[in-house]
Amino acid sequence: MTMETPFDVASALLPYIPVSARRLLDCACGDGSLSRLIKARTDVTVAGLAHDTEAAGAAETILDQVFPVNLECGELPDIKGPFDCIVCAGLIARLRDPKPFLTWLALRLSPDGLLLVTAPNLQHFSAVMMIAEGRWTHGGCAALDRRNLRFFTAYELLRLLRETGFDPRKCLAWHIAPEEDWPLDAEGYYRSGRIALGPLNDEEYKAFRCEEYLVLATRAKQ
């Protein structure tokens, strides 16, 4: 496989965040990398949820507000909405039950606001081929991150969002492995040992190479 450049989540997310947003919530603010890019681009107030004490210290120098949280303990900070944009990147797969948190977010998104949520794709070649071969090893792609507690296909991700008060508008395969990592043969099959998957059309091939999905959603109308 090719040596892949590390995926820059902050830079990849930035183009999807509306320039018009004036109040933003970053649900996994980390050290503030995304907020730094957003604030350099436009005048925006950013609040963040910090899941790591050390990273929270760095984030506090960039964000306007940082709220330490432990979502697994049911901690939901007293943050008043509405927000023009909510970014929830790389988080819901690490929650045992993301429904209460997503419902909480929906209540804090403005009627014309935008949610950006990412989740690893369980349909990725790495995961599918391992299951077909009767094994499971962490690492190698986003779907196999050992921190994940939940697993999604595009269908299940969209259903979860609809069940928690959102109206998904776009589902993008935004982190895609190059074709040379998972080459198809002349008949359109991907083959590994005794396992053959195909024939795949262009959309199916793209879905199997997608490591993560990015969904853009609005708040569902009541």
Q: What is the pLDDT of residues 59-108, one digit of tens each?
A: 889 999 999 888 877 778 888 889 999 999 989 999 999 999 999 999 99
Give kind and range of the element (H or E) at residue 156: helix 154-163
Using DSSP's 3-state secondary structure scheme, residue 126 falls into helix
Mean pLDDT of 98-123: 96
What is the reported pLDDT for 63?
93
Residue 141 CA to residue 207 CA, distance in Å, equals: 14
Burial of 222 by CB count in 10 Å (0-12 exposed, 13-18 middle, 19+ buried)?
Answer: exposed
- pLDDT (mean) for 115-134: 91
State how far the Cα of 209 lies from the Cα of 137, in Å rounded to an integer: 18
Secondary structure class of 220 (helix, strand, coil): coil
The rounded distance, in Å, linking the Cα atoms of 64 and 122 is 35
Mean pLDDT over residues 104-123, rounded?
A: 96
Number of CB atoms found within 10 A of residue 31's CB:
18
Global pTM reads 0.90
